[in-house]
Amino acid sequence: MTEKRNPPGTPDPRLQDEVAVFARFPAELAANASYIRGELENLGCSSDRKSGIEHLCGELDGLAYDLRAEVHNLQDKLGLRPGEEPWDPDIVNPDPRATLGFFREWPGAVFQEMNDLVQALDKDGKSGGSSLPFILVTESGVNVLNAHKDVLDAIERIEALLQENASRS
């Protein structure tokens, strides 16, 4: 059986499928931030906790904004937009692994903040406060972490494809 290869200069279609996972991640961040904000007024929590939850939502939105641009940069670096102008013509490092690293690393601080907030909300619920804020933030946190796990899995697959394509060259 002959191995099927792409014509020279055409992107590997498997890469496009993997990059779609990256595009869904910022959307998941923003959707969960929006959902939390929409439900926040219906929950009984202190103004300090409410402020902390609103801050987390802002961080999720900010991360989503930053990562959306990186999806476009990743497409450029992987050659998935042939014939189009680069999203960011001033990119310093053309290696796609640099952009993959952003998706690995940038969420860390936001995830830590989310974890700290979930712990505080859990403590509030156990000491007589409402458990609804804990449930809301935890449920959204699980959604976000699952979406990030999908990204991490896609990173592994992209790195394997890059290695496979490099070994063919």
Domain ranges of the chain: 14-168
Percentage of the residues of the chain whose pLDDT score is greater than 90: 67
- 100 vs 158: CA distance, rounded Å: 9
pLDDT in tens, 71-112: 999 999 998 887 788 888 888 788 999 999 999 999 999 999
Q: For the segment 2-30, what is each residue's pLDDT rounded down to a tens digit? A: 455 555 566 778 898 999 999 999 999 99
Distance (Å, whole) CA 131 – CA 127? 10
Residues 51 and 49: their CA atoms lie apart, in Å, by 5
Q: How would residue 169 be classed by pLDDT, with cut points 50, 70 and 90?
A: low
The CA dihedral of 49, 55, 109, 89, to the nearest 10 degrees, is: 170
Reported pTM: 0.88
Residue 157 pLDDT greater than 90, yes or no: yes
- Residue with the larger pLDDT of the pair 97 and 169: 97
pLDDT confidence of 164, banded at 50, 70, 90?
confident
